[in-house]
């Protein structure tokens, strides 16, 4: 294999050692974008899914929009996002949030739809109000689906992150990988990919640990 495109491991780990400070700076920039977009996307996705799942009126108006706009890849909105947001940071965070929002919304909505009616009937028999049934019966029962949506959204957000950081960003792992590719420095490219894979692994692992802590009765059902 060509050495230019497939450098040896000592060169790759040499880049990680020599440029650790610069790669760390790019990592912090990427984490700022990733966590900001992920938080707002997850919040919006869970809220939209709960609203559609429990309100017939909201389902009538919002569900068609989710089915039409949701499957469009978030990166396809780049031309509109660039002219709608004041800066590249906010535009990139919005694209990441959009990538997280759709799977979280769909899985949360489906989780609520699959709750047996007997749960709510028992709660009503014991005198629970509609508000109590939503927050203490419906949402906890739908949480396994919510976490699956968050896992899917997290993976999609990393794909969007790499593309979003090409929108004029000055730092970031996606920007670093693309810049080194243009420079034909493939040892640096692989170093950036290694760091990104480790970050993705850590975030997914933390999500699974959070899931096992909240959903104690389902611990070990889905393994990572």
Half-sphere exposure of 159 (CA within 13 A, CB side): 12
Determine, yes or no, domain membership for 3.
no
CA distance 152 to 6: 31
**Tens of pLDDT along 181-210?**
888 889 999 999 999 899 888 988 898 888
Determine, yes or no, domain membership for 223.
no
Question: Which distant-in-sequence residues (6+ apart) come within 8 Å of 7 by Cβ?
Answer: 186, 187, 190
CATH of the domain at 189: 1.10.3720.10
CA distance 20 to 15: 8
Q: Residue 147 CB: number of other CB atoms within 10 A?
A: 23
Determine, yes or no, domain membership for 4.
no
Does pLDDT of 222 surpass 80? no
**Tens of pLDDT along 60-111?**
999 898 988 888 888 888 888 878 887 778 888 899 999 999 999 999 999 9
Instruction: Give me the number of domains the chain comprises.
Output: 1
Determine, yes or no, domain membership for 135.
yes
Determine, yes or no, domain membership for 9.
no
Determine, yes or no, domain membership for 7.
no
CA distance 3 to 185: 11
CA distance 81 to 92: 8
Determine, yes or no, domain membership for 118.
yes
What pLDDT is stored for residue 194 in this prediction?
Answer: 93
Length of the chain: 224
**Tens of pLDDT along 120-150?**
888 888 888 888 888 888 888 888 889 889 9
Domain range for residue 187? 16-218
């Amino acid at each position: 294999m060509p050495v230019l495109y497939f450098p040896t491991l000592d060169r790759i780990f040499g880049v990680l050692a020599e440029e650790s400070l610069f790669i760390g700076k790019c990592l912090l920039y990427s984490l700022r974008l990733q966590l900001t977009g992920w938080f707002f996307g997850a919040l919006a996705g869970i809220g939209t899914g709960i609203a559609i799942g429990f309100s017939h009126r909201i389902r009538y108006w919002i569900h068609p929009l989710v089915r039409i706009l949701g499957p469009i890849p978030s990166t396809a909105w780049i031309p509109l996002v660039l002219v709608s947001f004041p800066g590249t940071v906010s535009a990139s965070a919005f694209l990441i949030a959009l990538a997280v929002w759709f799977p979280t919304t769909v899985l949360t909505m489906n989780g609520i739809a699959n709750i047996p009616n007997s749960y709510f009937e028992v709660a009503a028999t014991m005198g629970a109000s509609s508000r109590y049934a939503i927050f203490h019966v419906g949402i906890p029962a739908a949480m396994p689906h919510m976490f699956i949506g968050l896992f899917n959204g997290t993976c999609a957000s990393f794909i969007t992150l790499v593309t979003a950081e090409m929108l004029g960003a000055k730092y970031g792992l996606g920007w670093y990988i693309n810049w080194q590719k243009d420079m034909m420095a493939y040892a640096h490219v692989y170093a950036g990919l290694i760091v990104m894979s480790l970050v993705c692994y850590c975030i997914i692992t933390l999500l699974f640990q959070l899931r096992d802590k909240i959903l104690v009765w389902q611990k070990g059902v889905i393994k990572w």
